[in-house]
Chains A and B, each alone.
Chain A
Amino acid sequence: MRRTWVKRVLAVHGALFLLFIYAPIVMVVVYSFNSNPINMMIWSGFTFDWYWTIFGYPTQLNEQTLYVDSTDRLLAAVQNSLIVATSTTTISTVLGTMTALALYRYRFRAQRFYQGLLYMPMVMPDIVLGIALLVFFVSFGMALGLISIIIGHCTFLISYVFVVVSARLAGMDDTLEQASADLGANEWVTFRRITLPQILPGVIGGALLAFIISMDDLVITYFISGVDSTTLPVFIYGMLRRGVKPEINAIATIMLMLSFTIATLGLYFRRRH
Chain B
Amino acid sequence: MSGEEEARNQQTPIAEVREAVKRFAATEGGVITALDGVSLKVQPREFVTLLGPSGCGKTTLLRVISGLEELDAGEVLIAGEPMTTVPPHRRPVNTVFQNYALFPHLSVGDNVGYGLDVAGVPRRQRNTRVGEVLERIGLGGFEPRRPDQLSGGQRQRVALARAIINRPSLLLLDEPLSALDRNLRQSMQLELKTLQHDLGISFLFVTHDQEEALTMSDRVAVLNKGRIEQVGTPEAHYHRPATRFVAEFIGDGALFSGRIEGPTEDPVLVTGDGLRLAVALGTTVNQVATLLLRPEHLEAAPEAPDAAFGVIEVRLKQSVFLGASRKFVCCLANGATVTAAPTGAGAQALSRVAPGELVRLAYRRDQPHLILGADDGT
Chain A residues with CB under 8 Å of chain B are 173, 175-176, 178-186, 189-190, 193-194, 197-198, 273
Contact = CB atoms under 8 A, between A and B. Distances in A.
B114 A182 contact: no
B97 interface: yes
Contacts of A198: 104-105
Contacts of B67: 181
A176 B101 contact: yes
Interface in B56-92: 66-68, 87-90
B118 A184 contact: yes
B345 interface: no
Contacts of B95: 178-179, 182
B373 interface: no
Contacts of A184: 89-90, 115, 118-119, 166
B97 A179 contact: yes
B309 interface: no
A193 to B, nearest CB: 8
B39 interface: no
23 contacts: A173-B99, A176-B104, A178-B97, A179-B97, A179-B101, A179-B103, A180-B103, A181-B87, A182-B89, A182-B163, A183-B94, A183-B114, A183-B118, A183-B163, A183-B166, A184-B118, A184-B119, A185-B89, A185-B114, A186-B87, A198-B104, A198-B105, A273-B105
B105 A183 contact: no
B157 interface: no
B261 to A, nearest CB: 55
Interface of B: 66-68, 87-90, 93-95, 97, 99, 101, 103-105, 114-115, 118-119, 162-163, 166
B88 A181 contact: yes
Given A182-B66, A189-B118, A175 B99 contact: yes
Contact of B118 (A175, A176, A178, A185): A185
A100 to B, nearest CB: 19
B115 A183 contact: yes
Contacts of B66: 182
B189 to A, nearest CB: 23
A182 B94 contact: yes
Nearest to B119: A184
A197 B163 CA distance: 21
A201 to B, nearest CB: 10
Contacts of A186: 87, 89
Nearest to B88: A181
A271 to B, nearest CB: 14
B24 to A, nearest CB: 11
A268 B88 CA distance: 36
State the 3 A-B residue pairs at the shortest beta-carbon distance, nearest first.
A179-B101, A175-B101, A183-B115
A194 B68 contact: no
A180 B88 CA distance: 10
A178 B101 contact: yes
Contacts of B114: 180, 183, 185, 193
Contacts of B162: 179, 183
B94 to A, nearest CB: 6
A178 B97 CA distance: 9
A136 to B, nearest CB: 39
Contact of A176 (B89, B103, B163): B103
Given A175-B97, A184-B119, A197 B166 contact: no
Given A182-B66, A182-B94, A198-B105, 19 more contacts: A173-B99, A175-B99, A176-B101, A178-B68, A178-B95, A178-B101, A179-B101, A179-B103, A180-B103, A180-B114, A181-B87, A183-B89, A183-B162, A184-B166, A185-B89, A185-B118, A190-B89, A193-B114, A197-B105
A189 B90 CA distance: 13
B92 to A, nearest CB: 9
Contacts of A194: 103
Nearest to A172: B104
Contacts of A197: 105
Nearest to A198: B105
A178 B105 contact: no
B88 A182 contact: yes
Contact of B101 (A173, A185, A190, A193): A173
Contacts of A181: 67-68, 87-89
Contacts of A190: 89
Contacts of B93: 182
Contacts of B87: 181, 186
A154 to B, nearest CB: 30
Contacts of A193: 114, 118
Q: Which of B95, B103, B162 has the most CB of A within 10 A?
A: B103
A136 B318 CA distance: 85
Contacts of B90: 184
Contacts of B68: 178, 181-182
Given A184-B119, A273-B105, A178 B99 contact: no
Contacts of B103: 176, 179-180, 194
Nearest to B174: A175
Contacts of A179: 95, 97, 101, 103, 162
A239 B87 CA distance: 61
B152 to A, nearest CB: 16
Contacts of A183: 89, 94, 114-115, 118, 162-163, 166
A39 B101 CA distance: 64
A143 B98 CA distance: 58
Q: Which of A175, A184, A190 has the most CB of B within 10 A?
A: A184
Nearest to B66: A182
B64 to A, nearest CB: 13
A190 B118 CA distance: 9
Contacts of A180: 103, 114, 118
Contacts of B119: 184
A184 B119 CA distance: 7
Nearest to A174: B101
A190 B103 CA distance: 11
